[in-house]
Amino acid sequence: MGLPEITNINGKLNFDELGINAKDIDASILGGPASFHLQTAADQTISINANGDATGVGIQQFTSNPITEAMTGSTSWTADIAIKKPVMNLSIKSSLKGLAINLPAPLGKTGAQEANLTATKKQTVEKQDRFDISYGDIASAIILRQEKNGDLAFDRGDIGINIRAKIPTTSGLALRGKFDYLNADEWLALTSAPKGKSNAASGINLTSAELSIKKLDIFKRSLHSLKVSAIPSDEHLRMRLTSQEVDGDIEWRSPSKTEETGEIIAKLSKLHIPAGKDSESVKDTDEDIEKLDTQYPALDIQVDDFKLGKKALGKLELTAHEIKDDWVIEQLKISNPDNILLAEGRWHNWTRNPNTNLTFSLTANDVGNTLKRFGQADVIKGGIALISGQLNWPGSPHQFNTKGLHGKFRLGASKGQVIKVKPGVGRLFGLLTLQSLPRRLTLDFKDLFSEGFAFDEISGAATINNGVMHSDDFFMTGPAAETEIKGDIDLNKETQHLNVKVVPHISDSLSLAALAGGPIAGVAAFVAQKLLKDPLNKIAQSRYTITGTWDNPIEAEAEIEKKDSEPTNSPLNAQ
């Protein structure tokens, strides 16, 4: 690093065979006025004492980097320089008061705050020197230079944030930091801001980083007890992460001919993504959907233990890459002992009508445990199921919203039991228990439903249009009854309008016991049940309409056409 440009020099300089001397030399440097005093000692050491003001713009013209580009305002400074060829020593000090550094914590400061900056250059021999830099109690650095090709050039260095820098022993630049709290989202926002021009041509690149962070906020989520070991290079960034939420290795590969947006490769033993901030839970359903300027890297991610919030989902495998304006999800696989979820799709990041398409299938060998993993415990016991379909929504994958959701899917399940739950807990699953419907049945068989609904088979298909799900063929059958459900479920408003038909199964023994008024009546019931093909089931069938919200469904007996309500001709009606 050279010296900043000095202009508008004005003053009287005296020199003779013994050296040079000057007082009150005025000049402009670093965008502000300055004053210099020069004196030559008996050993020919030239001492320069200077003071002045520096502006953010002036500093940026001298050296441009993310830190200097964040500077605004001005501050005073002092400098002492000692030159005795071929060596030079200097010391620069400033309180930085008046100069704002518009960066996130811990480096940022307001103009009113003081943060003592000290930079010293020590040189005892011609071919090497040392810089010591400190910024308040926040950061420090030690830089060592060696002669290369006739000039002093960077050899090795160490930067400490919230810990003191140490004398580096290996080549390259090391960064070490210790933080009680760090907001990575604020720092990442700087990467999307317009870049100022950079004249940094030192060729100094970070070669290693060791960070310890008690709490890190990133992507509006928090990580705790995080330790990061990183080894950057021109083409790679390799990191080892350890925290309460994530553990494993991540590699970033720079853009190449095969992956123009770069690639992230992650092999993690665990990835527990915490729930987002409260502000994340309520999305603006009316946000404008438009083409995003963001380019997404290719992904190759494997996680042995994947959690989303409190949902333990199992093993995650994800591969994706970008092709022009499409981001292609080649495979998304989430697997565990209870189920396997497979998906593939595309995000069309188009100027007109950007959208995401996803094709999926979920195979569950234990429906109850699968729902428990997805946060719906004690809803279904046992059961096997397959659900498959396609979904489409406006915008990118992370802009998923039910308001513009379209799609279709088919469901098949068998050999399980819908457990008796409160609607507010099981939401729509609570409707399937039919626990409140039997009391309105023509014949009272509440004991068949009191602990839920055992099913032999569930089948159905549904379409989704702007977040409203519609089905005309949802069927559920079990030992107790057959159920048919038709209607709409509004995923946006969390409401429903469903027409339910329930046909209880009245077995041979039940028909005899329930209708027995004596041996003759019991035999008559049994014979009628067989000869007339289950007339009791037809008599007992009921129709209901379910409206209201998911948490508070409103059930009412549906009006039945007269022909359906007339008594069935059977020997049981003949008295």
Average pLDDT of the chain? 84
- Please tell me the least confidently modeled range out of 123-127, 290-294, 390-394: 290-294
- Whole-model pTM: value is 0.79
Q: Does the pLDDT at position 441 exceed 70?
A: no
The rounded distance, in Å, linking the Cα atoms of 209 and 232 is 8
Average pLDDT (207-220) is 94
Show the DSSP H helices in 518-574 as ranges: 519-531, 535-540, 562-565
Structure tokens at 254: 């720079």
Q: Mapping DSSP to helix (H, G, I), strand (E, B) and coil, where does residue 533 land?
A: coil
The rounded distance, in Å, linking the Cα atoms of 177 and 390 is 47
Q: Does the pLDDT at position 363 exceed 50?
A: yes
Predicted confidence band of residue 461 (pLDDT cuts 50, 70, 90)? very high
512-549 pLDDT per residue, tens: 444 444 455 445 555 554 455 555 455 557 788 888 88
Vertex 50 angle, CA 44 and 56, to 5°: 140
Predicted confidence band of residue 306 (pLDDT cuts 50, 70, 90)? very high
Average pLDDT (186-212) is 71
- Residue whose structure tokens are 């494997």: 302
Q: What's the pLDDT at 268?
A: 98
Q: Does an H or E element contain 206, and which?
A: strand 206-218
DSSP state of 255: -
Mean pLDDT is highest, among 207-211, 282-286, 417-421, 423-427, for: 207-211
Q: Does an H or E element contain 189, and which?
A: helix 184-192
Contact 516, 536 (CB under 8 A): no
Contact 343, 358 (CB under 8 A): yes
Contact 496, 550 (CB under 8 A): yes
38-51 pLDDT per residue, tens: 999 989 999 999 99
Average pLDDT (210-238) is 93
Q: What's the pLDDT at 70?
A: 94
- Residue whose structure tokens are 């041996």: 519
- Residue whose structure tokens are 């199921």: 385
Contacts of 383 (CB under 8 A, 6+ apart): 364, 366, 367, 368, 413, 414, 415, 416, 417, 455
HEC assignment per residue over 366-409: CHHHHHHHCCCCCCEEEEEEEEEEEEEEECCHHHCCHHHCEEEE
The rounded distance, in Å, linking the Cα atoms of 370 and 387 is 12
Q: What's the pLDDT at 420?
A: 62
